[in-house]
Every structure is written in C-alpha cells, then in structure tokens.
C-alpha cells in the first residue's frame, strides 16, 4: 500500500517527466519552425522543470 508521501513522490516524478517532455518538444518546435517569438516558453519550462526537481528533493 502506498503512503501519502509515496504518492506525492510519484506525482512529482510524473510532473518532472511531463515537464521535461514538453520542454524538449518546445525546443524542437522552436528550432524547426524558426519562430523565435515562441522562445520565451523555453526558459519558463526550464524553470518549471528545475522547480519540480527541487520539490522532489525536499520531499
């Protein structure tokens, strides 16, 4: 049986994985389309990714 702490760790890992996937897809999209107006999404996703890792380390 999973405890609340284990479930929180699993959700955080899922968030890290999802954010990383979106980060990679956004980077590829910017490079392929050469639409540099969308470049602001990359630092925002990077910060979300780092924030998710920090949250996981604190748990």
- Among 1, 55, 58, which residue's Cα sits nearest to residue 19? 55
In the predicted model, is pLDDT for residue 57 greater than 80?
A: no
Domain extents for the chain?
4-58
Name the pLDDT band for 49 (thresholds 50, 70, 90): confident
In the predicted model, is pLDDT for residue 45 greater than 80?
A: no
Q: pLDDT: is 35 or 49 the higher one?
A: 49
Q: What is the pLDDT of residues 16-44, one digit of tens each?
A: 888 888 878 877 877 777 766 666 667 77
* Helical axes 41-58 vs 4-33, angle rounded to 10°: 160
Three-state SS for 59? coil
């Amino acid at each position: 049986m999973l405890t609340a702490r284990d479930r929180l760790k699993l959700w955080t890992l899922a968030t890290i994985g999802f954010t990383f996937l979106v980060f990679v897809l956004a980077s590829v999209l910017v490079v392929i389309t050469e639409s540099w107006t969308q470049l602001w999404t990359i630092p925002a996703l990077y910060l979300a990714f780092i924030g998710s890792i920090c949250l996981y380390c604190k748990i």
